[in-house]
Amino acid sequence: MDSSESSPLRPPSLPSLAFSGCWSENKSSISFARKRIGLNMIHQTIVTLTGTGVPHPSPGRAGAGTLVRYGDISLQFDAGRGTVIRLAEAGIEPRDLTAQFITHVHSDHLIDLPDVAMTRWVQNLVNPCGPLTVVSPEGTSAKFARNMFDVFADDIETRQHHEMSSGTIEAAGPEINLVTFAATQEPIRVWASDDQTVVVDSVAVHHEPVTDAVAYRITTPSAVIVISGDTTVCEEVEHLSNGADLLVHEACRSTALGNLVAGTVLEAIFSYHADTVGIGSMAERAGVKHVLLTHLIPPPSSEVESLAFEADVRAGGFNGLVTVGNDLTTISFGPGLSKNEPIDPKAKYETKLDPARLTHVGIWRDELDEIGKEFYQWEVPQLPDRCIAAMNQGVRSDVIGIDLSNVSDLLEPGYLPLETGIASTPSGGLSVAVLTEWPGCSSEMIDWWFGWHIAKTDRYKLWHPQAHFFTQPKYDLSHLEELSDREKYRGNTSWVDEYIGPFPSRLGITFHDPAEIGLTEPQLESAGYGTVIYAVTTDSDHGNELSHLVHAVRRTENGCEMRSRFILPAGTPEFIGPPLLDHCWTEMTHLASFLPRLYRRVTGK
């Protein structure tokens, strides 16, 4: 191992280590590593995925990256696109990083390395933190790190001149402390904390034709974590993972999709990534306790697709825990925690759905509380002529409906050709559009409603008394005053039983941040939207994905309007469209008629 000349910070002095005698065949050494700190406090080891995406952009998935924290030590592995933002969302900024590690030179793993280093330099003006330590295999990735500031020369000079003139910085530009090592087939130690309680080992992996690609093993007093980087399933990663608490492994569904990609460019791409079935077999042989899949190929866009990744790992024979990663998935080990269990701060509020539940339409007299007595009204608005005409017209062929590929069209000013009606989508699915008016209502009221009503069935029945007959939240957060209204429903699932026309339906509606489909807060604000409710709908009995829904709430002179879109997959029967349009217009218009009064009654605002 050597270090570059670029920084006054020196890498730690590390002893040589014969790994075959340390842990390769002796799992008890893991316990020894955890005890060797003596009376020092043992901290939690916290692993957070800062990016689970691939080179092709996927909404909601930043570029490859994993953050490992132990006490005040923060180690970032890879820096794909969006890393700095994801770090901030995880509560870490570049100035907080103890070291940045690189697995290989592919752009989707290090394109944001300059951003990490430059941001740290800017932050150093106010919070002195020193140059960023970058640990990399010698070769192309180290070359990238050495030269990455060159393209920013003008920017650096401009900042230096401006800040120096105000006396806020010295002449020095951004620096890194580059620590390099040879990628070898046998593990070597490449980094250690000053007190030697946290160590990082590395081994060369197989990502040919890419050379100098490596995996890392992080050992702390509370956990052993292995990060594969990009690789095929190989013996080197298997040996490195021996007895690990957590294996963070890239995942490609090669076995399942091999026939589909045969003879295409994707076949070559699949050939140097790790098949999910093989990951399961390897992890079981290595005695890994928990597999966390990342860098997902192809990126799953639904719960069903995510479950397919887990099923592949199980098919390989793995009997431990499996988590299919999303950005900011966090798993923790250590004092006060059950090993290998993902952190879920909402877990204590989780409810269990009874598949044998008894439900009914309407609110019986003895079920009415004070809110029900005041706001429950069986009669609902009559459908207007425009809705009836749209339902009778069926699927239109003269317009294109909204799906996730063109949902950003909602950001355009004015109205689209289809605001109430049914049309095919660019992907061959079905799109149901409904425009409703909300006089006297605000987006704040609508956010409040979605966080408030999911807690109790009698609240849900207020919304569409002739069609709604049951609801239950996965997490009952309605009573937590410290949460915002959005935090009570985003990331939550509302299990509902309702009629869609004549069809009884048992659904699970999981609410997501609309940024996951490219509708970011600044874009929405600029386009005049107060809020957007985005959710994925499944059947609550089996988990099969049924649709995506978007309720985009745009401000108007007398309140707001809701532009709803139900996005159904190819093969959905066309007869579903009209009753879904009817249901949406009726429930939204009925709710709009009393929401301002209800909001004031409950909140006092």
- Residue-level pLDDT at 148: 87
pLDDT tens for 438-458 read 999 999 999 999 999 999 999
Q: Which residue has the tokens 């989707």?
A: 108
Q: Of 128 and 132, which is predicted with more confidence? A: 132
Which of 66-70, 227-231, 336-340, 572-576 bottoms out in mean pLDDT, i.e. has the lowest?
A: 336-340
| Domains of the chain: residue spans and CATH | 44-334 (3.60.15.10), 385-603 (3.30.530.20)
Average pLDDT for 565-586: 96
Mean pLDDT of 270-294: 89
Nearest to 420 by CA among 594, 586, 592, 591: 586
Burial class (CB in 10 A: 0-12, 13-18, 19+), 377: exposed
Phi then psi for residue 74, to 5 deg, are: -130, 115
Q: Is the pLDDT of residue 346 over 50?
A: yes
For residue 287, pLDDT beyond 60: yes
- The stretch 532-541 carries a mean pLDDT of 92
473 contact partners, CB below 8 Å, separation of at least 6? 351, 454, 455, 492, 493, 494, 495
Alpha carbon 448 to chain centroid, angstroms? 24
DSSP label of 24: I
Statement: residue 362 has pLDDT above 80: yes
Structure token pair of residue 232? 């095929």
Q: What is the pLDDT of residue 181?
A: 93
Q: How confident is the model at residue 260 (pLDDT cuts 50, 70, 90)?
A: low
Please state the rounded mean pLDDT for residues 398-415: 95
Which contiguous run of DSSP H or E holds residue 465?
none
- Written as six digits, the tokens of 21 are 């005698």
More confident residue, 39 or 183: 183
Q: Is residue 458 within 8 Å of residue 470, measured between CB atoms?
A: no
pLDDT classification of 364: cutoffs 50, 70, 90: confident
Please classify residue 413 by burial: count the beta carbons closer than 10 Å to its beta carbon, then call 0-12 exposed, 13-18 middle and 19+ buried: exposed
CA distance 56 to 115: 20
What's the pLDDT at 108? 80
Give the pLDDT score at 298.
87
Q: What is the pLDDT of residue 336?
A: 58
pLDDT at residue 345 greater than cutoff 70: no
pLDDT band at 254 (very low <50, low <70, confident <90, very high): confident
User: What's the rounded Cα separation, in Å, for the pair 301 and 313?
Assistant: 18
Output the pLDDT for position 433: 98
- CA-only gyration radius of the chain, Å: 27
Give the confidence band of 268 by pLDDT, cuts at 50, 70, 90.
low
- Band the pLDDT of 54: cuts 50, 70, 90: confident
More confident call, 173 vs 534: 534
Phi and psi, residue 238, nearest 5°: -60, -45
In this predicted structure, what is the pLDDT of residue 279? 94
**CA–CA distance from 332 to each of 45, 178, 338, 340, 344 (Å)?**
6, 29, 9, 7, 10
Tokens (6 digits) for 584: 């949406």
d(CA 311, CA 315): 6
- Omega before 417 cis (within 30°)? no
Q: How confident is the model at residue 224 (pLDDT cuts 50, 70, 90)?
A: very high
The per-residue pLDDT for 1 is: 42
Banded model confidence at residue 264, pLDDT cuts 50, 70, 90: low
Residue 350 confidence class, pLDDT cut points 50, 70, 90: confident
pLDDT 10s digits, 81-103 = 999 999 988 888 899 999 999 99
Whether pLDDT at 16 is above 60: no
CA atoms within 13 A on the CB side of 506: 12
Only one residue has tokens 């990331």, namely 491
Average pLDDT (270-288) is 87
Q: What is the pTM of this model?
A: 0.53
pLDDT in tens, 459-512: 999 999 999 999 999 999 988 888 899 999 998 999 999 999 999 999 999 999
Mean pLDDT of the chain, nearest integer: 85
List, for residues 160-173, the tens digit of each pLDDT value: 766 655 555 555 77
In the prediction, which pLDDT does 339 show?
45
Residue 179 has pLDDT above 70, yes or no: yes
